[in-house]
Amino acid sequence: MAQKFRKIGVLTSGGDAPGMSAAVRAVTRAANARGVQVMGIIGGYRGMIHDEMIELTNREVSNKIMLSGTFLYSDRCLEFKEEEGMQKAIATLKKHDIDGVIAIGGDGTFRGATDLSVRGIPTIGVPGTIDNDITASDNTIGFNTAMTTVIENVDRLRDTCESHARLNVVEVMGRGAGDITLNTAIASGAVAAVIPEAPFDEEACINKVIRLRREGKRGFLIIVSEAFPTLGEELAKKITAITKDLAEKEGNDRLWVESKFCRLAHTVRGGSPTLADRLLATKMGVRAVDELLAGNSDLIIVERAGEITTCGIRWSQVLDRMYKGTLKPGMTDAYTAEQLAEMEAFIAAKKAEFEKNYAMLNELAD
């Protein structure tokens, strides 16, 4: 028989993402509609430890669906990683008679959710991260908005690049995942993307720019992942210097490709969530409430092939490690050969799709 829930907590943790507030709104209204009270935990797990909470009612979450960032605020709490900190957090939850928690964030947030689950607090995770680096889910809350923000800014840079026959190297966020970089490079018509998932041939890239300039191309864009913090600026300087030398050598100043560097940085995190992110946040928030009230725990809500479904948090974490090549000894011991084969097939399909898109960029970027 499923546990009777009277009150649940909801938090946002880790890097903020557009749509987190929409997800909190959905959790609140779905829970209230089912007769369950909701407490908003301020500042993620830190607020849980230090008893910083507010009651969330339907009116309290009005006009929150379009907000950027997270109105519950966020923090990275090292104290929660220690047993003493976890016990303080659990004591706070018990003090407020909170029966379960919905945690919105990325992989670090989910590790905290598992820690609560194994200590007797039912917890469901909802993926809110612009990086789209939760391998088990096709999309995460904030990813679509982040890409849209990049495109809006890159399109403006394209205008001035075309006017002055320049090149702009643009560094975008995404941490160790190249999803934002690759997708925005395709959508902006960039001549190259530099991502952690594929080797970058700098010489070939520069030669391509030179060839295209000879063919009459004026404006150029190259999108670079923040996983390479110095590469973008250095690449812009190299292209400028190499093409200037070539122009002088051949006596043709049109071969000179003056290159600029732009780091979009945290502007990529901001902005009102797109329709896609508002819908995803709402659907995931409602599903999280349904799963929690059905007595389920230690799950995350994911989107696969357009459908909202679930998977185990530990399964998701192992899948992440396998995909990123960071597995540690013993992490797969709890899984059968069939389960591991399923994970490997899932990863192979995801990598194949990524490689297909990367090849498409290179084919069309001319």
Report which secondary-structure segment, H or E, holds 291.
helix 275-293
Instruction: Quickly count: other Cβ atoms within 10 Å of residue 7's Cβ.
Output: 16
| C-alpha distance from residue 8 to each of 32, 39, 314 (Å) | 10, 6, 22
CA-to-CA dists, residue 355 to 228, 319, 366, angstroms: 19, 18, 18
352 token code pair: 């194949």
Which of 99, 107, 115, 131 is catalytic? The answer is 131
**C-alpha span between 357 and 351 (Å, rounded):** 10
131 included as an active-site residue: yes
Q: Tell me which amino acid residue 119 is.
A: R
Tokens in use for 250?
């051949």
Give dist(CA 214, CA 363) in Å, integer: 19
CA separation (Å) from 293 to 5, 30, 117, 316? 6, 11, 14, 21
What is the identity of the amino acid at 60? E
CA distance 362 to 218: 18
User: Catalytic site residues?
Assistant: 131
